[in-house]
Every structure is written in structure tokens, then in C-alpha cells.
Chain A
Amino acid sequence: SQQGEEDPQALSIQEGENATMNCSYKTSINNLQWYRQNSGRGLVHLILIRSNEREKHSGRLRVTLDTSKKSSSLLITASRAADTASYFCATDSLMYSGGGADGLTFGKGTHLIIQP
């Protein structure tokens, strides 16, 4: 079953603008991860934020986590055409995880299109 749900399902913005995607989940988590999937390719890990962290940065990516609202957001600043992809959140359930990646469940993703 899917725990995380991304919002919006699709997002189209102009190059240079910021893109924000959200993820909501249902049960308590160890960590939350964001992945990117380019068309016809596998998912690529972007960033991991743990349940005791509130914000994390990696290059042009900023992730926030609000465990009280069971939600996370992914912000991509100064978007580029190459950022066009689907973005997925994956949650590592506190109840299920054995300490590795075995407890991860994925949402259905946000399809981001960057218009040149």
C-alpha cells in the first residue's frame, strides 16, 4: 500500500522559477526520501531527511519535514529544463523498517515540466 501522496500530480513552470512539490503520509516515519525519475529511466535518490530534522539542503534542493502535519515539501530553486522529471517521495515506516531500505513505500509522484 502507498503511504506517501505527492501533490500536485503535475506541475508546469517556466525555466528559472521555483518548483514546490508536497508529500503527505499517514503513519510515523524514521525518514522520508525524495527521488527523481527521468523518462524511461530508473529512480535516482535525491535527498533523505530524518524524522528529527526539519529542513535539509542539497544544491538547489531544499526539503522540509513537518512530522506534526505528516508532510514534507521539496523545493527546487532556479529551475532548469533538465529538472523536467517525475519526483517521488518515499517514506520509511517507523513500524515496519528493519533499519535498511526494506520499509520504504513510494507515492505516485509529481510530474514536473520546466518550460524553456
Chain B
Amino acid sequence: DAGVIQSPRHEVTEMGQEVTLRCKPISGHDYLFWYRQTMMRGLELLIYFNNNVPIDDSGMPEDRFSAKMPNASFSTLKIQPSEPRDSAVYFCASSPGWGNEKLFFGSGTQLSVL
């Protein structure tokens, strides 16, 4: 299994631009999570999906952030418009489902907003 695949690995953009981060979870996993990691705040849960349905988006910082999961093998996290304070590492993680609480993380997307 290739594991959780995220793209791009690095993204540098200018303030005001739209940013789209992509994630392919492990096949057969029912849960998909988006996290953000910064030195100041650590690892924060932004949103998670169960069977492609968004369950909890209370961690999404502002309306500028949106996430979709159109099918079981693909999810996107979009920031529009981006701001310098959005600079962080964004991780996607997937988990098998009920009764299995382990998370499998992708390698992350390092986002820099100038």
C-alpha cells in the first residue's frame, strides 16, 4: 500500500491567491482528517470526514477554508483567499474505521504564503 498521498509537498504563494491541497487516503479507510501543524499551536484538527461525509468542521479557522471529499479516494482543502498567517504544514490522515483508532498520516504540504 502506498500510504496516504498528499500533493503538493511544498506550496509557495502570494497573499490573496487561492490554494488547493490534495489528499488520497489509504484504500478502504472510512475516515479522513485534515490537520494543520505550527510551532505555536501544535497539531490542530481542521475537519474530518466519515464515508466521504463531513462530520466535524469546527476546527476550520475561517470561511476562507473549505474542504471536500467527492469520493472515497480523494479530498481537497482549499484556502481562498490565502493569508500569511495560513503558513503551516497541512497534513491529511486516514483511519480504517470504527474500532480502529490509529491514524495514518501523509507527508504533509508545507504552505508558505508571502
Tell whether A and B belong to one assembly: yes
Bound-complex Cα distance A102 to B46 (A): 12
CB contacts (< 8 Å) of B56 on chain A: these are 102
Q: Interface size on A (CB < 8 Å)? A: 28
> Interface size of B by Cβ–Cβ distance < 8 Å?
27
- Is A42's CB under 8 angstroms from B48's CB? no
Considering residues A40, A102, A108, which has the most beta carbons from chain B within 10 angstroms of its beta carbon? Answer: A102
CB contacts (< 8 Å) of B45 on chain A: these are: 104-105
Is B42 within 8 A of A104, CB to CB?
A: no
Q: Verify if A71 is at the interface (C-beta below 8 Å from B).
A: no
Task: Report which of B55, B99, B101, B104 forms a contact with A104, defined as CB distance below 8 A.
Answer: B101
Determine whether the beta carbon of A45 is less than 8 Å from that of B103.
yes
Q: Which residues of A are interface residues toward B (Cβ below 8 A)?
A: 2, 30-31, 33, 35, 40-45, 48, 88, 90, 92, 97-109
Can you show 17 pairs from A to B with CB atoms below 8 A apart?
A30-B101, A31-B101, A35-B103, A40-B107, A41-B108, A43-B93, A43-B105, A45-B102, A48-B101, A97-B101, A99-B98, A100-B100, A101-B101, A102-B56, A102-B95, A104-B45, A104-B103
